Amino acid sequence: MRLPIRVVIADDHLLFRQGLKALLKQEPDVTVVGETDRVDELPALLARTPCDQVLLDLQMERNSLTDIESLVKRVRVVVLTASELAADALAAIRMGAHAVVFKRCAVETLMDAVHAAAEGNVWMPASLQNQFANRLRNPLINELSPREEQVVRFVALGLRNAEVAEKLSISEQTVKTHLNTIFRKLSIRDRVALTLYAARAGIISIRERSS
């Protein structure tokens, strides 16, 4: 008989935390031993609460990517994220996370991730595995920052600079600066070539581009 997997949930959405607890309660080998809605409270919580895994929302009161490296010295980290950008997931795995779970499909996939992490394995959705494979085939995409990859995605989906600026809450001039940097890093000259590269690298799908 396996020992219970002791889990702490760190997520700033009350309804989502409640949903996770209800889901985990159905598993006989998983016990929720604590929860918090603030990433900066995690160290103190873990100091007084023995646990095996933290289910960590990547977007809380601040981006919690920078906290993963210190957390994995104590526990295994399963990242929960609304972002499906490969750059964010890759950064989390590089920091030491054992699993990445997309929030929109957490009900179907969370337990696979929790059990894989408990066994010391790395787990991610199949779509993310495909994106990683595409990155191996198009390695220059890994030179982009997460923000630059967001710009690539929106431009490749056909948005104008002003629309990209509005989506990302930055200035249009900042979008232009990002694009110049992106073109240089990828050795690309125009938006058409950028769109083709984004499709090959898995940043957008053909279905998205045609919709």
**Per-residue pLDDT reduced to its tens digit, 154-180:** 999 999 999 999 988 999 999 999 999
Mean pLDDT of the chain: 87
Q: Looking at domain 138-210, which CATH architecture does it have?
A: Orthogonal Bundle (1.10)
Cα→Cα distances 130→23, 40, 73, 138, 203, Å = 27, 33, 29, 12, 11
Which residue ranges make up each domain of the chain? 5-130, 138-210
Which residues are CB-contacts of 151 (< 8 A; sequence separation ≥ 6)? Answer: 164, 168, 175, 178, 179, 182
Report pLDDT for 180.
Answer: 95
| Separation CA 110–CA 118 (nearest Å) | 12
Least Cα distance to 9 among 88, 80, 62 occurs for 80
Q: In whole angstroms, give the CA distance from residue 151 to residue 117.
A: 32
Give the Cα separation of 126 and 84 in Å (integer).
Answer: 12
Q: What is the pLDDT of residue 92?
A: 87
User: What is the C-alpha to C-alpha distance for residues 201 and 211, in angstroms, rounded to an integer?
Assistant: 19
Q: Report the percentage of the chain scoring pLDDT > 70.
A: 96
188 Cα distance to chain centroid:
27
**pLDDT computed for residue 208 by the predictor:** 52
What confidence tier does 210 reach under pLDDT thresholds 50, 70, 90? very low
Non-local (6+) Cβ contacts of 137 within 8 A are 200, 201
Residue 21 vs residue 146, higher pLDDT: 21
| Interval 42-77: pLDDT, tens | 999 999 999 999 999 988 877 777 788 889 999 999
Residue 84 has pLDDT above 80, yes or no: no
User: What pLDDT does residue 2 have?
Assistant: 63
- CATH topology for the 5-130 domain: Rossmann fold (3.40.50)
Tokens matching residue 48: 């007084």
Degrees, nearest 5: CA angle 194-200-204: 75
pLDDT of 93-137, one tens digit each? Answer: 888 999 999 998 889 999 999 999 999 999 998 878 877 777 777
For the chain, list the strands marked E by DSSP.
5-10, 30-36, 53-57, 76-81, 99-102
What is the residue type of 27? E
